Amino acid sequence: MSMATVNPATGETERTFPTLGPEEVERVLADAAAAFASWRTTGFAERAALLERAASLLEEENEAIARVMTTEMGKPLGAARAEAAKCVKAMRWYAANAESLLADERPAEADVRDSGASSVRTHYRPLGVVLAVMPWNFPLWQVVRFAAPALMAGNTGLLKHASNVPQTALYLGELFERAGYPHGCFQTLLIGSAQVEAVVRDPRVAAATLTGSEPAGRAVAAAAGDEVKKTVLELGGSDPFVVMASADVERAARTAVTARVQNNGQSCIAAKRFIVHTDVYEEFARRFTEGMAALRVGDPMRDDTDVGPLATERGRADVEELVDDAVEQGAEVLCGGRRPPQEEHGWYYEPTVLAGITPGMRIDQEEAFGPVATLYRVGSLDEAVERANHTPFGLSSNVWTRDDGEVARFVRDLEAGGVFFNGMTASHPAFPFGGVKRSGYGRELSGHGIREFCNVTTVWHAAD
């Protein structure tokens, strides 16, 4: 069995790599467990120095790894460079802040005395070997936002990356070793999906984290739950982008274009459903559609390209099926809705805006993982909230309003892991990231993320 880099801009297979057999997987697991035994005892200063070294290597190699990412999954080269830079930022943030984020916590003295203790503290200890099952859409960032806090907490990591980004996966495994981490601290497992369950169930693996599809999340969570192991899941999203009557419509429409087509539209936190108050609907629809139609689709290696190809042929077919289903049921195509006629090779799809969406259409409830936006008209705040929550997902949300009362209502009632006002959803190492409902559970990034894979230990000393 093998994995391959298939360039989505051309459809051509560029490199193939053999997957690991049972004996090789066993060696990796043994090395990870052995590394944890000593790595867990290191101090924060030592861990931070190594993570800083890894960050510096990545910073120096930004252009090279950006080109690998673009070749493997098709994101515009400028976006790939930005992704690598964001990883450097996160690594340095955790190197600087992990010690304070995991500092012992002490309860109120009155509670200590009431318990009959002389002292009590909460102490954070690493769990052990953590398996990360990661997706192809942000092939560097998704991994680093797990690896940086996990390693700083004293865990060791195993990476099972998506099968279409093997070069990025191998780079990450080598990056930490080249930075000086002890052998076994962070390793890449080139294995197929069918091999994941056995790794999850292995007694040397303490926990798992997955970013990806709902079916993949269910499978990993089921196996881990059966073994009583901790999991963190970040799954799909169908994020609302709500525009109320008081919004700056021109700015909202301009931001909406970027929010929808970031990463060629293949982002869980990309805005997908545009819910617009009737008072500004016509203006927003016009400006938004004009912006989407003006985007340049083409070779992702060109700096003037706005939208590159979708990552896989199956992914493009999924998008086409959702659009075709909506059109067959009466949706109006305001722009796009087809493959670019000038692109004979590769898995390209035009930026698309659909209006007239009704509940029977698949796209009303399913995530469109490509540059396709759906428009909804609403007549009130209540209707906007109801429409925004009318999805099985709850990852993030965007709201455009200048009304403080509306702000309070959306904060209280939107079913999402984040509410971004007058801007687009973005992740930052200092802020918790994750969702509710079928978008998953647990949090990445910030102090919440680094503590997800820690043993929260109560240390109690009796009074004399």
Catalytic: which of 72, 83, 234, 452? 234
Confirm if 140 and 84 have CB atoms less than 8 A apart: yes
Confirm if 216 and 248 have CB atoms less than 8 A apart: no
Q: Are strands 352-355 and 372-378 parallel, antiparallel or unpaired?
A: parallel
**46 phi, psi to nearest 5 deg:** -65, -45
Element (H, E) at 241: strand 239-243
SS3 403: coil
Catalytic: which of 268, 350, 367, 444? 268
Rounded to an integer, what distance in angstroms lies between the CA atom of residue 254 and that of residue 422? 11
Q: Which of 135, 335, 369, 356 is nearest to 239 (CA)?
A: 369
Confirm if 396 and 269 have CB atoms less than 8 A apart: yes
For residue 234, indicate whether it is catalytic: yes
Rounded to an integer, what distance in angstroms lies between the CA atom of residue 308 and that of residue 297? 6
Rounded to an integer, what distance in angstroms lies between the CA atom of residue 145 and that of residue 122? 25
As beta bridge partners, residue 4 has 16
CB hemisphere CA count around 277 (13 angstroms): 18
Rounded to an integer, what distance in angstroms lies between the CA atom of residue 396 and that of residue 254? 19
Confirm if 23 and 193 have CB atoms less than 8 A apart: no
Confirm if 70 and 80 have CB atoms less than 8 A apart: yes
301 burial type by CB count under 10 A (0-12 exposed, 13-18 middle, 19+ buried)? middle
Residues contacting residue 53 through CB under 8 Å, at least 6 positions apart: 179, 180
373 token code pair: 């936006």
41 token code pair: 């005892």
SS3 190: coil
Active-site positions read 234, 268
